[in-house]
Amino acid sequence: MSLLEVRDLTISFGSKKVVDCISFTLEKGARIGLIGESGSGKSMTSLAIMGLLPDTATISGSITFEGQELIGLSDREHSRLRGNRIGMVFQEPLTALNPLMRIGKQIAGPLMIHKGSSLKEGLKKALELCTKVGLPDPDRILRAYPHQLSGGQRQRIGLAIALACEPALLIADEPTTALDVTVQREVLNLINALVDKEGSSLIFVTHDLPVVSAMTENVAVMQLGKIVENASVASLFHEPAHEYSRRLISAARLAEDSFSGKGGQL
């Protein structure tokens, strides 16, 4: 049985289909990249799996996770999976953290919700998690507020929150888009290392082909809500089947050329 099976998933707002009959499967421990330009429906796909679509959206098709159908699941039951079996990292590491809550409490949150930890136990675990995501001086970090940390540090916190309950699936929705290139590299390496170590599956969402090539072997290319190509990263680079994929690659080459003068990131 696959860990996650998405069949004919369709999401619309009124008559506008933003995700159009997409299907993919993800085995336990496997990774998939979702790539496509902004507005192609990547985030809506991620949110559908989390059960967090805006309530104006209508959804059809099927999403099974660990053998359980998620579409039509009550919010209460869905929330038992969120942050527990499925973790999610968001694009904006600043706005995804509560500005008035200390970091320690925010990391302890999922543990208190799902594992019945007390605040004290949660904070103790948060300390370990901080070290795990490579944050120096975790004692200070736990007492800090989000605005006192750098973008890269915040995204590491986001990762610590998402991985707190050791989820079977991690969804990272453009986790490095808001970061500087050098920090981007560090966070990607961290995600790689942690997902390997925990044996989680990964859905990595991005609009950036070089980024996805550093993260996953297989990618699904999305355009206007449809998956237009499903391929390994290597074959996508060498023989892109779809016109849109070819455009993504030439855009990536262009970016690489303009970077190479400065030492070529990624």
Ligand X SMILES: Nc1ncnc2c1ncn2[C@@H]1O[C@H](COP(=O)(O)OP(=O)(O)O)[C@@H](O)[C@H]1O
> Is residue 150 close enough to count as binding another protein by CB under 8 A?
no
Residue 120 touches which member of ligand X, Mg ion, another protein, none, C-beta under 5-8 Å by kind:
none
**What would the x/- binding string for another protein be over residues 51 to 90, using CB under 8 A?**
-x--xx-------------------x--xxxxxx--xx-x
- Going 233 to 258 to 261 to 179, the CA torsion angle's sign is negative
DSSP β-ladder status, 16-26 and 218-223 = unpaired
> Is residue 46 close enough to count as binding Mg ion by CB under 5 A?
no
Residue 87: CB atoms within 10 A of its CB come to: 26
Among 3, 26, 32, 44, binds ligand X (CB under 6 A): 44
Number of residues that bind ligand X (CB under 6 A): 12
In whole angstroms, give the CA distance from residue 47 to residue 60: 14
- Taking CB under 6 A as the binding criterion, the range among 36-44, 62-70, 73-81, 138-146 that sits at the site for ligand X is 36-44
Residue 121: CB atoms within 10 A of its CB come to: 14
- Going 45 to 91 to 195 to 119, the CA torsion angle's sign is negative
In whole angstroms, give the CA distance from residue 11 to residue 44: 8
Residue 244 touches which member of Mg ion, ligand X, another protein, none, C-beta under 5-8 Å by kind:
none
In whole angstroms, give the CA distance from residue 112 to residue 40: 35
Task: Give me the least distance between CB of 30 and another protein, in Å please.
Answer: 22
The percent of the chain in helix, strand and coil, each rounded to the nearest 5, is 40, 25, 35
> Is residue 43 close enough to count as binding Mg ion by CB under 5 A?
yes
**What would the x/- binding string for another protein be over residues 2 to 41, using CB under 8 A?**
----------------------------------------
Amino acid at 120: K
Task: Give me the least distance between CB of 65 and another protein, in Å please.
Answer: 14
Among 40, 84, 106, 200, binds ligand X (CB under 6 A): 40
- Give the binding site for ligand X (CB under 6 A): 13, 18, 36, 38-44, 54, 56
